[in-house]
Amino acid sequence: MQVLASLDADAIWRLRFQLPATLPAGTCKLRLIGLCNDDSHVAKVNPKWASVAMAEDPSSATLQAEGTTTVTWGASDHDKYVESKITLDADTPVGGEIIAMDLTFETSGWTLDQISTWMASLIWE
């Protein structure tokens, strides 16, 4: 997904992740990989999520916020991938359920001035 260079308001990327029936060992984390032709600037992200069963309505789930994470492009990071791992512990992942997530790109503190591209996945570490 691409995000505008300058955000006028918070932008939400609505995501869904199918969890395996048996969760792997370790801690569930959101792995974000960002790419931006920028340096010495930051993005601000805040994952808000819930583990939702198949029979539940994901629209009525109460999403829990992990809090704002700062993703930094250093002085020599322009046009390079930057990785962030965010521990998902605001709710409890449940095997066989689906994680419903609103990944919020927050305008407050956002200093990237180029378009950024993002990939999201779940990992256990």
Predicted local confidence at residue 32, as pLDDT: 98
Over 90: is that where the pLDDT of 39 sits? no
Q: Which two tokens stand for residue 99?
A: 């994680």
For the chain, what percentages of helix, strand and coil (3-state, to nearest 5) are there? 0, 50, 45
Output the average pLDDT for the chain: 94
pTM of the model: 0.92
Predicted local confidence at residue 2, as pLDDT: 67
Per-residue pLDDT tens for 74-96? 999 889 999 999 999 999 999 99
Which residues fall within 8 angstroms of residue 86, CB to CB, at 6 or more apart? Answer: 29, 30, 32, 45, 47, 66, 69
Q: What is the mean pLDDT of residues 17-39?
A: 96
Phi, psi of 42 (to 5 degrees): -135, 155
Q: How many structural domains comprise the chain?
A: 1
User: What residues are paired with 85 via a beta bridge?
Assistant: 31
Question: The domain spanning residue 48 has which CATH number?
Answer: 2.60.290
Over 70: is that where the pLDDT of 48 sits? yes
Domain that includes residue 99, residue range: 2-124
